[in-house]
Structure 1
Amino acid sequence: MVLLTVATEDGSTFSVDVGLDMELENLMALLEADSSIPVDDQLVFHNGRQLTVLKDSLDSYGVKENDMLLLRQKSNDPSASQQAHVAGRNIAQDAETMRRQVLGNPQVMADLRRTNPELADAAQNDPARFRDLLGQLATMQESARLQREREMQLLEADPFDVEAQKKIEEAIRQERVLENMEQAMEDMPESFGQVHMLYINVEVNGVPVKAFVDSGAQRTIMSPSCAERCGIMRLIDTRFAGMAQGVGTGKILGRVHSAQLKMADLYLQCSFTILESKSVDLLFGLDMLKRHQCCIDLRQDALVIQDRKVPFLPEYEVPKGESQENGNPVPVETVDSSLSNAAAAAGPSAPSSSAAAAPGASAFPGSGRTLGQSPNASPKSKRVRSHSSSAASSPAAQPASSTGLPDGIAEEAVQSLVGLGATRAQAISLLEAAGGNAEVAASLLFSG
């Protein structure tokens, strides 16, 4: 046996104990005894759907314990029937008017298709189905209203009950949320719209690219496919390979230290982190924004650089692949706050590449080496070693933790510098001088 709540049109409610295997006609007979409404005049609804097949069980209709049924009464009064006919005609007219408004407004149709695809499809292809669905929605709203009233009546019956107080508090909170939403819709309806992201037209190595301007990304990022189109894949320094962690994770193929970028009539030198990502071709991050002193001026809808205004692209020119089905922009995976994490992640792979390359096996004729190979024969690295050996002999370079490293120095950062050709002692010394920053330490290593 399960307990069901039955609500009538006059707002009264009562409970019945029934079995889910009970047929609808038996339930209606039971409702007649409690409501004095004859079986022939009863209209029973569950979740906005009318129950019509008398021999079907309640379970077949999806009725569960503590569900609410809506009981309505047919009227044989001619005047009432006439009023109902007029009301039904008005509802039909309102439904048709609403359907035409939806069809005439693409934005409303898009919103409706996102929130209620079935209703949107009916509005476009089946006017009768659209009218029926609107009626079901109205019935469901009425049932929900009666359910809330019943709950409030039960809660107010024992105001000192702790659970009742919690439910009352939640009901009040929900009302405040709805009031806040209604106020926002009235005062600033634009906040419920969609905002497209900021893109500008640039040229990288003479190739036109739509760049996504993102001051929240610390690094300027380029996808491998875009780098291939721009002809700069050959310049990737794989020693800076690793993993980027932000909204998600992505593989860093390396870094292009300098490439020409044209913005307006300016030719700028930019560095790019090549990140495996399909969400954006080029992300113009905070590093290059600060480097070239750019200003995102939303009043002028432009990126201002050296007194030049580079207008942001209008919505119809924004790359379509950057939006989800609901129209919101795809989150872009940003590089970590410091390249030291990426370099640390590349640590395990860098030594293996240098160890696997036997001396002279993959070297170019002369003193040239491939990127990522340990430059053991480089005179410059020898000078760095001699300089760092003396620095490593200082007391500050002595281990200060159980891992044998001073505080603030990560083993992964040490391994990344070892992969770049430094000795372990030299790597520790450089990291101490750089305050633990692997990027600065790498710069010191190559500066000699």
Structure 2
Amino acid sequence: MKVTVMTADEQFLNLDVDPDESVENLKALLEVETNVPLQQQQLHFNGKEMQNAEKLSAIGVRDGDLVTMVPLEDSPQDIMRVNRDGSAVNPQAFLQRVRGDSQLMAQLLQNDPSLAQAILGDDINELQNILRTRHQQRTRKQEEELALLYADPFDVEAQKKIEAAIRQKGIDENWEAALEHNPEGFARVVMLYVDMEVNGVPLKRYRGIAVGVGQSEILGRIHVAPIKIGHLFYPCSFTVLDAPNMEFLFGLDMLRKHQCMIDLKDNVLRVGGGEVSVPFLQGAPAPAANPSSQGGDFEAKVTKLVELGFDRASVVQALKFFNGNEEQAAAYLFGG
């Protein structure tokens, strides 16, 4: 019998099918005709969804009847799903999802440049090859560890390696679960800035996660100093840290004390319950995230890497690419 299928873009397809054909097989035919994966299809007949296991004749489909196809939108979890060989189930959607998240892409460029380049280059084959290769490497490593265990289960060194492998497996599984269900968690922290004056000195106020504060030496404390936000002055206390990469951070304690509200809808910081509103800075007015990266320390790193045989332009580019991290830049230049 002939069945007419109307697609989401209102095209009409005439298909020859057997009355006893299953809905799943009809979807398989439509996948060939429309390039919409079977898993993303939803078929409706007489206003009801057709289930995969049902036969066309059993749900009343007759010769000349009309069936409507509705493509399902992928959830973020579905987009990040992988096949048994490690490749992406829907590589095009995977590319679009990751490439559309600028923060996630920035994180990948720093931590996983080869994967980032495949995504930026819209190279599906390279993306799938990278994912498969890493899956094969993980599988091979697991097989080698199991072989070691069976070879001599009572060997002390073997037991240590197996224990480490078990821990690493847990970490890998946690990583994969996080990447699948919470990919935004791998993005960089976004800093917000506003114009302020502390004790009469103008500066840009950092707002965000105090990265590295826990590792900084506390040099002392300023019990009170006037801080100007907008046109008003507020008394604030400060902890002085040995942290050259952080000029000034207005912390949660002061945000709470002065009843501040971060209004991302209007892109302003409201202070004193709304009596003062100052806009967050964008573009050129905002300070560089790492103002010291181009100083003497940066030049020292450039010199060391150039002495290893790399040309200066490549070294500078690699250091900027990895935010001044000499080890990561060296590994990148060596092809690691």
Question: Normalization by structure 1: what TM-score?
Answer: 0.32
Question: Normalization by structure 2: what TM-score?
Answer: 0.40
